[in-house]
A and B are shown apart, each in its own frame.
Chain A
């Protein structure tokens, strides 16, 4: 293969605006609901279960059928093929069939002339339920051994012995709540029938190939007859990885049966009632440690709220287990994880995918250890970090992967200095000593996050690059754009390879008829995988052009340079477009596919051992809060963040991901509370009751920097992933709140503070340690 010297041309590493920025700000970026409707388009709405668990004795839908504007009503019985949208285990009906398993489960679909008429008609259904016992809490499910998957376990060393021998031990129970994705654009699918039993579906989804499979199976037609397309999503955050399938499946069913275009757009309340969220976790833990705070043995049981079906609960729990260590070496550890079956929404992917739920527990444990020993928690954290190298040892994770890229020591030291952590700690102690009502708190927490899908085979991607005769370049790849800047980064990679300005490159909608059998855009791997695949495609074209240039311009192929829209060889420089036109006449192939499979990954799901990650992304944050001990209200006063994006492909986009994840994770741990009533109905099913962070929650003093680093792994231009890991940074906010609360008992007692730390939870913790 021809490889030339790296050119100075560098469209990578620059803070280019998002490729759609101008479209975004002018309102002309099309989302699925903005696509001009095909003539005759109909609109669907879903009828939802009112019961958490019941047999459906009878559904009287006559009034629905007769309602104004209604064209048809469909139920589970109407699927020509499989009424299934479970991504791994087939336990997830698209429409409930005979039994309902949560309040909000879709039972039937109504198709009407207008969206509003469909929604109105839904309410006229008379459903006769025979109630069955409902399990509404993960601990209740655990008592009944009711799980959606077999329990999993991972052990290293002898945790029991280590606990017995340890000078100090703490046991406890703790919990973190779930989280609604709250993508601003709700779930939507727009299905248009095509000739010969074909189906086109425009869908807001992170996983077009999965949508293609679900639709094909549901309609009993081959995959080649289903085309799924997604130009962009108005946010995904994991909520449109598997759970866009229900919407795609229903829209396709209606369109197939009626042979008319049908759009299914969820009203916000329906979206929140129907779809799964981040898994709530309940922990039982025991840790043994020495006088310095070094952890000697850890035993943990994690119960997750899976909801009524498996969905992605298994992989989520796996990632939680694999991230219990966070940045710390755990010599002797015993972890069990159960995915508890509850009669609630089937929980699913959400940015971090169990990683945050695993890592935050060890941070909670360290927080307790530090307070128990009267040490600064940062000192205990640093003491427990993974070793830097083989000489230091302590550098193999509990699942057997050696940590070869550890920068957490340097990164945390840098942040400790730049945030003035120690001096502010002293100033805060002084403030708290003199203030009777407001109490401040400070915490600095690190993270180490494994990058790759745990399931090895998902770590593959494909791309197509077309060079047209005017020198413009079109890229298509299997990843989806949900705001994270994937298409911008991939375009930068291709522009860099071909030596053309970024403006010459356009990335088109993700389309199952272009790149086949794609993985979900998930696990932070979008750029790593698709960037490499697009680079491979571009390189093939470049190599062909280089050969042609050397032949026509003189020089040798591996010394041809591509820069700023020009190609130079043998001392002659021509415009990129000019050489392209000549190459076309010489019958040189000007388009190519590209493929990438992440090397050196393996995973044994049974023993939970292997080398599941390509590398680790590191980061740390220091947060200072003030808490009102009369009401529990609080405010984030300052946050300092340092994130390791390796050689960032686009620092502005990466910084945007870090900040966005920080605020989103802060919401998860503070204001975002999911509340189900005694009947299992989610009562926080709209933004009026479910509170994601708003503008005043962004701290006035917010200092976010990228850590100077390179990726040890051969990632795309040695960059590192940035989608999920920074969601762990606001652990610092939670533990700063806990620190502030602890000050009311002079840091002598552990505040019993669950997440989310709502004002009410904070006040309860204040009360508890004051008594």
Chain B
């Protein structure tokens, strides 16, 4: 066990032993290192002004990803490289990303600009001269976590296209890999600061041992929620066990028509894996789940373990009949995910257990499945209502109906009355109406700043209708006629758009 946080930054390896374990990367950059290019806009991962790119060695390759510096706790960066706007050019000649931003007039007040530059750089790194031209949607995804209050985004979108037209500037991935290889630990990091311990185990065995020894410790994965406990609520976390380096928790495996996703697999990786199987059903939810930097940091296991009633993964996981795997030094348990949630922020999780994986059934013949998310804004917003519907549809008859909602109750919850109303019924308007009424038996939602109870209930019912319109045996409507985000403008000769 070693006590120093070691990270690569601006051409050298830094070692830190004097930082509270809850010091954020943003605080460290601005206050300790006096690198002020990275800005604080909100300190809650919602504005992107502090976007940086981290590099991590995985399977011998460097994985670069944009993250919010305000939510990254310093010890979690052990073994990683950190890139900020200062790592790109500071003067002419600018990096193509920066040059494109200047040429396209993509900065006004400039405060959000370093964040945009880093998100664009992250996108740039994923590209090669062979890549197909960037689509608007790819740009939206890359910049979904960056707010700009000045430009209205158009010139920034132009800059994303423009950066690819400029002479390419390659990044030395191999060189970085060699440097990071020197930082890889074979053993648990135990970082101690004023009696507070931060453990970063490397193996499942070590993790369950540490958990058994420290049942009160805070389990930390992506930190996209826990970061706010620190920056906004000033909660004392006590000892921390970090899951991000446990290799067994970071794997995605397919076996017997079930996809098993380790608890520390990031949301972006998890959704990417799932969308291989459920492209039509999950792609939009993937795009609307927080922002890319949040999905880069947050984990599917964290989303599930947190179990927020407004988390966006649980409704569809439950609708698909997913199961949760819990591990401890005593062994392994597996539960239906809906049984994991006992009440508001209450879970069937023993003090010595950790969430190890989620097991998700893959598509089968005759299965109909849809997910819908409603929020005030398309990008990076928390759901007012999140819905998932799944069933077998054979000869016009529904069976194995599973419906779950977020935003409708104190926990992610199944709609058992509505399911019953649909089970073994003909999938027609009359059945739909009965089930819509039954939904009112299932839920008594709350009113808050995101939506009223009335809106939540009515749209829950209407989303069931949309599910019917999209999946009914006769005259099913294409998504383009049901989803406003898939619609196109009418030109004067717009017959074909209908």
Q: What is the bound-complex CA distance between A93 and B376, given in angstroms? A: 36
Chain B positions 369 through 391: 1 when the CB is less than 8 Å from some CB of chain A, otherwise 0? 00000111111111010000000
- Cβ of A695 and Cβ of B139 under 8 Å apart? yes
Interface residues of A in 244-263 (CB under 8 A from B): none
| Contact assessment for B490 and A624 in the assembled complex, using a CB-CB cutoff below 8 Å | yes
Q: Point out the residue from A431, A626, A671, A693 that lies within 8 Å of B498, measured CB to CB.
A: A431
Residues B484 and A626 in contact, CB atoms below 8 Å apart: yes
- Smallest CB gap from A702: residue in B: B154
In angstroms, Cα B143 to Cα A634, docked, is 21
Contact A234 B491 (CB under 8 A): no
Minimum CB–CB distance from A229 to chain B (whole Å) comes to: 17
Contact of A27 among B84, B144, B154, B450 (CB under 8 A): B84
How many of A's residues come within 8 Å of B, CB to CB? 106
Residues of the B chain whose Cβ atoms lie less than 8 Å from the Cβ of A626:
484, 487
- Option from B114, B377, B465 in Cβ contact (under 8 Å) with A671: B377
- The distance in angstroms between the C-alpha atoms of A17 and B94, with both chains bound, is 14
Q: Which residue of B lies closest to A267 (CB)?
A: B43
CB-CB under 8 A from A673, the residues of chain B are: 376, 449
* Interface members, chain A 1-59 (any B CB < 8 Å): 15, 17-18, 20-31, 33-34, 36
B108 within 8 A of A: yes
In the bound complex, how far is the Cα of B155 from the Cα of A26, in angstroms? 17
B131 within 8 A of A: no
CB–CB A29/B110 < 8 A: yes
Once the chains are docked, how many angstroms separate the CA of A656 from the CA of B159?
13
Alpha-carbon distance A502/B84, docked complex (angstroms): 30
Q: Is the CB of A660 within 8 A of B151?
A: yes
Among the interface residues A15, A34, A698, A767, which one has the most CB atoms of the partner chain B within 10 A?
A698
Q: Once the chains are docked, how many angstroms separate the CA of A701 from the CA of B155?
A: 13
Q: In whole angstroms, what is the CA distance A33 to B493 when docked?
A: 53
Given A22-B94, A26-B89, are A693 and B377 also a contact pair (CB < 8 Å)?
Answer: yes
A625: min CB distance to chain B, Å: 8
Q: Contacts A691-B376, A696-B378, A698-B152 hold; do A638 and B489 have CB atoms under 8 A apart?
A: yes
* A438-B234 CB under 8 A given contacts A17-B105, A693-B377, A695-B157: no
Neighbouring A residues of B38 by C-beta, 8 Å: 27
B472 to chain A, nearest CB (A): 13
Contact check, B146 vs A695: say whether CB atoms are below 8 A apart: yes
A655–B155 Cα gap in the complex (Å)?
10
* A436–B465 CA distance with the chains assembled, in angstroms: 12
A635: chain B residues at CB < 8 Å are 378, 484-485, 487
By secondary structure, the B interface counts as: loop
For the complex, give the distance between the alpha carbons of A634 and B497 in Å: 17
Q: Please report the C-alpha to C-alpha distance between residue A59 and residue B30 in the assembled complex, in whole angstroms.
A: 34
Q: Known A269-B232, A695-B146; judge A440-B109 contact (CB<8 A).
A: no
Q: Does B34 contact A (CB under 8 A)?
A: yes
Query: Which B36-92 residues have C-beta < 8 A from chain A?
Result: 36-44, 46-47, 49, 84-86, 88-92
Output the least CB separation between B180 and chain A (Å): 24
A672 and chain B: residue at smallest CB distance = B376
Docked CA distance A59–B16 (Å): 40
The answer to whether A630 and B465 touch across the interface, beta carbons within 8 angstroms, is: yes
Q: Is the CB of A18 within 8 A of B376?
A: no
A763 interfacial by beta-carbon distance below 8 Å: yes
A290 in the interface (beta carbon within 8 A)? no
Q: Which of A653-707 contact B (CB under 8 A)?
A: 653, 655-656, 659-664, 671, 673, 675, 683-684, 686-689, 691-698, 700-702, 704
Are B378 and A656 interface neighbours, CB within 8 A?
no
* Chain A hits for B132, CB < 8 A: none
Contacting A235 at CB < 8 Å: which of B86, B149, B492?
B149
A693 cross-chain contacts in B, Cβ below 8 A:
152-153, 377
Surface stretch bound by A, among B324-332, B438-446, B451-459 = B451-459
Question: Could you tell me the distance between the alpha carbons of A73 and B377 in the complex, rounded to whole angstroms?
Answer: 41
Whether B84 and A420, one on each chain, are in contact in the complex, defined by CB atoms closer than 8 angstroms, is no
Q: Are B88 and A234 in contact (CB under 8 A)?
A: no
Q: CA separation between A687 and B113, bound complex, in Å?
A: 18
CA distance A490 to B391 in the complex (A): 65
Which of A144-152, A422-430, A459-467 touches B? A422-430
In the assembled complex, the Cα of A438 lies from the Cα of B470 at a distance in Å of 13
Docked Cα-Cα span, A199 to B442, in Å, equals: 64
List of A residues within 8 angstroms of B143 by Cβ: 695
B47 contacts A184, C-beta separation under 8 Å: yes
**B102 CB–A CB distance under 8 Å:** yes
Residues in A neighbouring B449, C-beta threshold 8 A: 673, 675, 683-684, 689
Q: Across the interface, which residues of B come within 8 angstroms of A24, CB to CB?
A: 101, 107, 110, 113-114
A553 to B449, CA, bound (A): 73
A631 contacts partner chain B, Cβ-Cβ < 8 Å: yes
Beta-carbon contact of A424 and B140 below 8 Å: no
The reply to whether the CB of B410 lies closer than 8 angstroms to some CB of chain A is: no
Q: Which one, B152, B378, B450, B452, contacts A663 given CB within 8 A? A: B152
Q: Is the CB of B105 within 8 A of A424?
A: no
A25-B102, A424-B491, A656-B155 are known; give 7 further A-B pairs, CB within 8 A. Answer: A22-B92, A25-B107, A26-B90, A235-B150, A698-B154, A702-B154, A764-B455
Listed in ascending order, the chain B residues whose CB lies under 8 Å from chain A are 27, 30-31, 34, 36-44, 46-47, 49, 84-86, 88-92, 94, 97-98, 101-103, 105, 107-114, 117, 136, 139-140, 143-144, 146-157, 232, 234, 374-382, 384, 448-452, 455, 458-459, 462-463, 465-466, 469, 477, 481-485, 487-495, 497-498
